[in-house]
Amino acid sequence: MANFPGKGKVAVLKTSPETILDDIEKLMILAGVEQSLPKNITTGLKINISWQTWYPACSSTPWQLDGTIRTLKKLGYADLVGIHNDTVVVDTSVGEANNKHKFVTDMHGIPCTYLYQEQFDWIEYKPRKPFLVLDKVYPDGVFIPKTLVGKNIVHLPTVKTHVFTTITGAMKNAFGGLLHRNRHWTHSVIHETLVDLLSIQQEIHPGIFAVMDGTFAGDGPGPRAMRWHEKNILLASADQVAIDAVSAKLQGFDPLSLDFIRLAHEMDLGIGDPNQIEIIGYDIDQEKHWHFVQEDTFASRGQKLIYHGPLKPLEKPLLQSPIVGWSYFASNFYHNVYWYPFVGRKRVEAALQTPWGQLFKNYGDGKVVMPGMEPKTVIQAGAAIGGAAVVLGIIGVLLGRKNSKK
């Protein structure tokens, strides 16, 4: 049983570009940030970069980071550090510049930790209670960054859908920070993985808090190829399960139908039943139904065939062997060569005409990077065609062996 200040309580406020920084301060105080986070230790700000290109609702917003830092400093949190992870499909150094995170952390003099750099030790973690799945995914040991142990953590997710978890929020924001580059091995058991990660967090962090941005919110095939919506809403909580449940409800999903929320609720790691959550501030029943939907991309459909479909027997050779690069390429090609230049760019241009888009543009140098086709991925395409032939050949051989044994 997890007992902590703020369990089952979520603060929600409506906001505007003119009042956003003040509203974040009100929100965090309403949610009980001072009761949730000790002040005499380092507090890490877990910044979310889901794409190295700016796209509405995709990654932590600069005002979300700015307002959180300002509030924590004002309340006496003197030792703050930004926390970044990398992924196999996102270049963090590019992403923190394009999403204007670096401008904000530099403006406040906040140092950043880049967990993928070699100087950071990854230590084997032994849980107090048995894992649901992580020990099975990683039989040689579950390793976490030593530098995160003993720090407070403040998650900075956005309100959006996700191809694998229906919605993504505070609980999944730990996914990149606590697991290293082989984190994709967990996608077939992603719901149980998020619950295991929350259990780890509750053991290693003295305090956990989340500030969730729904100024822009995204539905469809998240976390990247989404449709953006201006929702002008903010959420904050020390309860990672409850804040995700409220976000899910706002989007139009039944929180307890989402396995990671239901499992965490049943294990008493937080409150996932909306009927048991105390919402402070804005009455979300005033909101018109958002009717968000979770959809798949071409790439995620293929991954689900491997994780849960007829290609399941090929999961290890396809995604846990030296040929796994084909899947990274496929994702990069889809998002950075096809989707953004031909679909996403027009949506970004439209978003920039909104008040939130103008606020984003005005952070930093007043510019917005809107790339064309990613040259590196285009160059790789030729090589990938040959690689795809090899992969298909391997699949054919493996399927042939399987059939011959019947």
Question: Which pLDDT band holds residue 375 (cuts at 50, 70, 90)?
Answer: low
On the question of pLDDT at 234 being above 50, the answer is yes
Q: In whole angstroms, what is the distance from residue 161 CA to residue 297 CA?
A: 12
On the question of pLDDT at 385 being above 60, the answer is no
Residue range(s) occupied by CATH 3.40.50 in the chain: 9-296
On the question of pLDDT at 334 being above 50, the answer is yes
* Structure confidence at residue 117 (pLDDT): 84
On the question of pLDDT at 323 being above 90, the answer is no
CA-closest candidate to residue 236, choices 224, 244, 228, 226? 244
* Structure confidence at residue 203 (pLDDT): 97
Radius of gyration of the chain (CA): 21
Structure token pair of residue 18: 């003119």
Contacts 24+ apart (CB under 8 A), 17-23: 17/63, 17/215, 17/355, 17/356, 17/358, 17/359, 20/63, 20/67, 20/215, 20/359, 21/63, 21/66, 21/67, 21/70, 23/67, 23/234
**Digit-coded pLDDT (tens) for 78-92:** 999 999 987 766 788
For the domain made up of 9-296, the CATH class stated in words is alpha beta
In this predicted model, which residue has the larger pLDDT, 299 or 24?
A: 24
* Structure confidence at residue 181 (pLDDT): 62
Which amino acid belongs to residue 290? W
In the chain, what is the straight-line distance between the N-terminal and C-terminal CA atoms, in Å?
Answer: 48
Mean pLDDT of 348-366: 97
